[in-house]
Amino acid sequence: MLTMQDALARLTSYWTDQGCLVVQPMNTEVGAGTLNPATFLRVLGPEPWRVVYAEPSVRPDDSRYGENPNRLQTHTQLQVILKPDPGNPQELYLGSLAALGIDVAAHDVRFVEDNWASPALGAWGLGWEVWLDGLEITQFTYFQQAGGINLDPVSVEITYGIERIIMALQDKNHFKDIAYGPGISYGEVFGQTEYEMSRYYLDDADVAANRQLLDLYAAEAQRLIDAGLPVPAHTYVLKCSQAFNVLDARGAVSTADRAREFARMRRLAGEVAKLWVARRDELGHPLGRVEPPALARPVSTPAGKDGTRLLVFEIGTEELPPSECRAAQGAVERELRSGLAGTRLAHGDVRVFATPRRVVAVVTEVAAREDDHVRTVRGPKLAQAYGADGAPTKALEGFLRGQGATLDEVAEADFNGVRHVVLNRPETGGAAAEVLAPVLAKVVTGLRAAKNMRWRDPQLSYSRPIRWLMALWGDDVVPVTVGLLAAGRRTRVLRTAAAPEFEIASAETFMETLAFNGIVADPEDRRELIVTGAQDHVYPEGRVDVRGEAALIDQITYLVEAPTPLLGTFDESYLTLPDAVLTTVMRKHQRYLPVRDADGALLPMFVTVANGPVDVELVRNGNEAVLRARYEDAAFFYRADRSSAPAELRSRLERLTFTDKLGSMADRAGRISSLALALAADLELSSATLNRAAALVKFDQGSQLVTEMTSLAGLMARDYALHAGEPRAVAQAVYEAELPRNTGDDLPASLPGALLSLADRLDLVAGLAATVGLPTGSSDPFAVRRAVLGLLAVHRAHPALAGLSLTDALRRAAALQPVPVSGEVLAACAGFLAKRLEQTLTEEGNPIDRVRAVLPHADRPSVASNLLAQLASVTANPDFVAVAEAVQRARRIVPPSTPAGYDAGILKEPAEVALHSAVVAVAAELGPSPEPDLFRFTSVVSRLVAPLATFFDEVFVMADDAEIRAARLGLLATVRDLGAGLLDWPELQLR
C-alpha cells in the first residue's frame, strides 16, 4: 500500500523531475501553502520559478478534536508553483497522478470550475477543483493577482490535499486510519496533536492574549514594511492571519473586528507585495526574467482549389465552466456568422457545438474562393472634379495619383444623390483559406467571459486557457494564428485516451473522429445521453426527475464531453437525514442526480456522469465513498446542531458578518425581528407565534450544517426548532421567513411567516441600497432583485397584508439600519420596487397598459394585483368604458392645473346642472378616500354615464364667459378626480 509519506515523496520527486525546486514548509503557522513566501512572494514579478513543497495547513476553524473523519485542524497540502505557465500544466498534473499509481484512464478525473480568491491577501485566480471519482483532490489555479498586483507572467498553482487523496487511494473512511508510514497510522502519529490543538483552538486559546498577539504582529509587520523588509514583514502578516484565525475559532471575532482585520491584512499584504516587487527590481531580478514566448507564425496558405468543402474550426480549451461553455457556443456562432457575412465566400449551414474542452464550428459547403467583383472607389464630387475648362482639378489629380490611376479609367456614380467621379476596379475573390483565417482569428480573440484570466499567451484573455486550434477547409489547414497558437490539423481527444492527439486528414472526417473517440460534441446529444443513460441505470422502481433536475442536467451536459452515466448507492441509514440535506449534497457538491420512488421519496442511490470510458466499478466505488464521507460529515453536523438549543445557535450569529457596514447576522436578525413585530402591530396581526418566531429567525445560520450548505437555511431552522420542541407553527414560520428562496419557490403560507419574510427582504433592500446601492446591470451580488421579487410575491399572496404600504415599511426598515438611509435612497427603492412589479405583472401576461394603470399602487402590490384582476373584467363592462372615457375626456379638456371644485350657482344649463347633481351624489356615495375597488367604483360612477353624455353633447365647456368657463372646467375636473388614486387613467388603453 502506498503510504502517505511515500505519496509525498513520489509527488515531490515527480515535480523535481519537472524542474521544480523543493523548499521546506513555512516555519510559522499558515492556513495554506499559498501563504508560504515560496508562493505568495515568488509569483510576483517577472522572475521564473518552479517549486514543490509540503505545507501543513492550519485551519483552527476546522478543529474537530480528531472526531470528524474528514476534517482536521492541520492537513497536509502539497503545493506546486509553475511560473510561467508551461503550456501543458494539466497534462503535467495528470502525470503526477500517474506517478502516485493512479490509473487516470480507469478513474474519472475531472476539472471542475473553481475560482479562488483570498480577499485578505488581495489575491485571486481562476481554475478548477480536480475531482477523482467525485472527490476533490486538488485545487488547480491560474494565479492572476497577489497582494493586489497583477501577475505577469501568470503562475500555475497546484495544491494537492494529501490526506483526501490518500484516504481515497487507501480506501479509508477516517483520516486516522490512513497508513502514514509502514505499519503506522495517521492517527497514531498525529491523533494526539489533532485532539490537543483542537482543544486549543476551540476551547483553551486565551482570547485576550491572542488579541494582543494580533496587534503586536500587525505593528511589527508595519514596522518592517516601513524598514523596507518584505520577507520578515510577510512572516508577521502570516502570524496576524494565524492569530486572527485562532480568535475566530474561539468565537471572539466581532463583525467590526473582522472587517477591520481583513482590511488591515489586505493592506499589509499589499504593501509587502509592492515592496517585494520593488526589492527584486533593485536586486536586478536575480533569477532572470521569463522570456515572452514567440508568437505563432501561420502555416503557408495552401494552393488554390475549386469546389466547396466543409469547414471545421475547433477552439481547444482547458475545461470551461458550464456557463461559459454554453455562452461560448452562442458567441462563436454569432461571431462566425457575422465574420462570414463580411466576406464574399459562399457557404451553407453554420453550426456550433461546445464541450468543456472545445468549441467546434462546422460550416457546410464553403466555396473554394470568393466570387470575383468590381470594387468602386469614390473620388471627388463631379462638380469639383473638373474645372470650368473641363480639365481635371487638383482634387481629381490628387485622387488619381493616390490610386495610381489615369484619367481614362475614371467613371461616375451617385452617392446619396450626389454625383462623384469613381474608379471601378475589378477584384479577384480570395481563396477560402486566406479569407477564413482572419475571420476565424477574430472569433478566437473575440471570446470573452464573465471572468477572464490570463495564461502564458501574451495576446489572449479568456475564461480558461485556449490551448490549440484546429482549422480545416476540406483537406487544407486554414492558416489561423492568434497569439501563441497556429491552427493545424491536430485535434486532441480525451487526455486519457491511448492516443490523445490525432491528425485530421480532412474536415469531413473530423466529427467522426471525435465521435469515434467517445466525444459527443453536440450538447443536445449529450443531454439526451445523460437523461436516457441515467434512467437506464437506476433500479426499476427508481426514477430521475428529469424536469425537476433540469438545471443540474444542463450543468452536467457542459461538465463532460464523453458522458458515462453510472449508478451509485448509499447506505439507507442516511435517509434519516432531511431530504434537502441529502439532495443538496448530491446536487451542489457532487452534481449527482437523486433517484426517487414513484411517490417522490428518495431512494438510497444516485446517478453520476463520468467523463469517458472509465472503469465503472472503480469510479462507482470512488463516488460512493465520497458521498458516504459527505453524508458522514452532514450527519456529524446534524447531530451536533441538534444537540444545541436554537437560542445557542442564534447566539452564534454574532460571529457572522452580514456586510461590513450593516453589522453581523445577529444584528440583521434583530432588525428583521423588530420590523416584523412592528408591521404586525400596525396591521393588528400580532401573535404569540410571530413573537417566538421573530426571536428565533435565522437561528439556523448559526448551525454547522447551514454554514456548510447555505441553501439549507430555513429548512434546517424548521427541523431544529421542531426537534427542540418549538410549536409547529413557530417552526414553520421560521422556515417560511426564508421563502421564497428563488423565483417559483413556495411562498410563506402563514402570516407570521409572511411578515418575517417581508421584514427580511425589506431589511436587505433598505440596508444594501444605502450602502452598496441598488443593483445595476448584471451585478447583484446580494441578490437584491430576488429579494424584491420575493417581497412583491409575499405581499400579493396574503390579502391580510393588502393594507401594508411597502414604501412605509421600507421607511421603517430604513430607520432600523445602523447607517442613515436618505429620502433619495428610499425614493429609489420605491422606484425599483415599482419597476420590478411592472415587470412581474407584465411577465404574468397582463397588458402593459393595464399594468401601468395599476402601478400607482405599487407599494401595495396586492392592491395593484387585485385591481389588475378587476381590470380584466371591468374593461368588458360598457359602463366602465364609458366612465373611463369620460374621465379621460375630462382630463384632456381640463388643464392639469385646474383643481376640482366649482361654484355650482354659476351653472345654469340643464345638462350641466344635471351633471352637477349626479356628481355630488356619486361623490357622496364613493366617500372621501375609498378603498381601491373597480367593481364598486364602476357601479357607483356608472350613474354619471348618461349625464356626462348629455353634458358633452349640449354644453360648450370653453364658454367666452370666464366665470362660466371656470365653473364648467371645475365640474369636469371634479369628474376627472373621482377616479384619482384608483388608476393611472391615462395609461389605460380602452380599445
Interface positions with a copy of itself (CB under 8 A): 5-6, 8-9, 12-13, 16, 19-30, 37, 54, 56, 58, 76, 180-182, 184, 187-189, 191-193, 196-197, 199-200, 204-206, 209, 212-213, 216, 219-220, 223-224, 227, 229-232, 279-280, 283, 286-287
Residue with Cβ nearer a copy of itself (286 or 895): 286
Q: Strand runs (DSSP E) across 520-662, as ranges?
A: 563-569, 593-596, 602-611, 657-659
Compute the least distance from the CB of residue 140 to a copy of itself, in Å: 23
Grid cell, residue 511, equals 466529427
- Give the number of C-alpha atoms closer than 13 A to the C-alpha of residue 933, restricted to the C-beta side: 10
Compute the least distance from the CB of residue 219 to a copy of itself, in Å: 6
Distance between CA atoms of residues 825 and 667, nearest Å: 21
Compute the least distance from the CB of residue 86 to a copy of itself, in Å: 16
Residue with Cβ nearer a copy of itself (21 or 906): 21
Distance between CA atoms of residues 10 and 934, nearest Å: 80
Task: Tell me the chain's radius of gyration from C-alpha atoms.
Answer: 36
Sequence-distant (≥ 6) Cβ neighbours of residue 414 within 8 angstroms: 420
Residue with Cβ nearer a copy of itself (10 or 628): 10
Distance between CA atoms of residues 958 and 682, nearest Å: 48
Distance between CA atoms of residues 675 and 689, nearest Å: 15
Compute the least distance from the CB of residue 173 to a copy of itself, in Å: 19
Compute the least distance from the CB of residue 237 to a copy of itself, in Å: 14
Residue with Cβ nearer a copy of itself (219 or 819): 219
Amino acid identity, residue 165?
I
Amino acid identity, residue 432?
A
With left for phi above 0 and alpha for psi between -120 and 50, is residue 193 left, alpha or beta? alpha
Distance between CA atoms of residues 9 and 3, nearest Å: 10
Compute the least distance from the CB of residue 216 to a copy of itself, in Å: 5
Residue with Cβ nearer a copy of itself (180 or 468): 180
Say which residue the cell 367666452 belongs to: 960
Residue with Cβ nearer a copy of itself (199 or 351): 199
| CA distances, 597 to each of 332, 571, 604, 912 (Å) | 42, 16, 10, 74
Instruction: Please tell me whether residue 917 adopts helix, strand or coil conformation.
Output: helix
Compute the least distance from the CB of residue 272 to a copy of itself, in Å: 11
With left for phi above 0 and alpha for psi between -120 and 50, is residue 663 left, alpha or beta? left
Compute the least distance from the CB of residue 262 to a copy of itself, in Å: 22
Beta strands across the sheet bearing 373-381? 373-381, 418-427, 410-415
Task: Say which DSSP state 379 is in.
Answer: E
Residue with Cβ nearer a copy of itself (34 or 481): 34
Cα 883 from chain centroid (whole Å)? 49
Residue with Cβ nearer a copy of itself (188 or 617): 188
109 in Cβ contact with 130 (< 8 Å): yes
Compute the least distance from the CB of residue 273 to a copy of itself, in Å: 14
With left for phi above 0 and alpha for psi between -120 and 50, is residue 612 left, alpha or beta? left
- Sequence length of the chain is 991
Residue with Cβ nearer a copy of itself (286 or 426): 286
Task: Say which DSSP state 724 is in.
Answer: T
Compute the least distance from the CB of residue 707 to a copy of itself, in Å: 25
Residue with Cβ nearer a copy of itself (184 or 256): 184
Residue with Cβ nearer a copy of itself (15 or 473): 15
Residue with Cβ nearer a copy of itself (22 or 263): 22
Compute the least distance from the CB of residue 57 to a copy of itself, in Å: 9
Query: Cis omega before residue 153 (within 30°)?
Result: yes
Compute the least distance from the CB of residue 235 to a copy of itself, in Å: 8
Distance between CA atoms of residues 888 and 894, nearest Å: 10
Residue with Cβ nearer a copy of itself (35 or 544): 35
Residue with Cβ nearer a copy of itself (21 or 966): 21
Residue with Cβ nearer a copy of itself (56 or 95): 56
Compute the least distance from the CB of residue 643 to a copy of itself, in Å: 23
Compute the least distance from the CB of residue 21 to a copy of itself, in Å: 4
Distance between CA atoms of residues 571 and 171, nearest Å: 17
Helix, strand, coil percent content, the chain, rounded in steps of 5: 50, 20, 30
623, containing H or E segment: helix 616-642
Measured in degrees and rounded to the nearest 5, phi and psi for residue 661 equal -90, -20
Sign of CA dihedral 412, 414, 419, 423: negative
Distance between CA atoms of residues 630 and 982, nearest Å: 56
497 in Cβ contact with 592 (< 8 Å): no
Compute the least distance from the CB of residue 279 to a copy of itself, in Å: 7
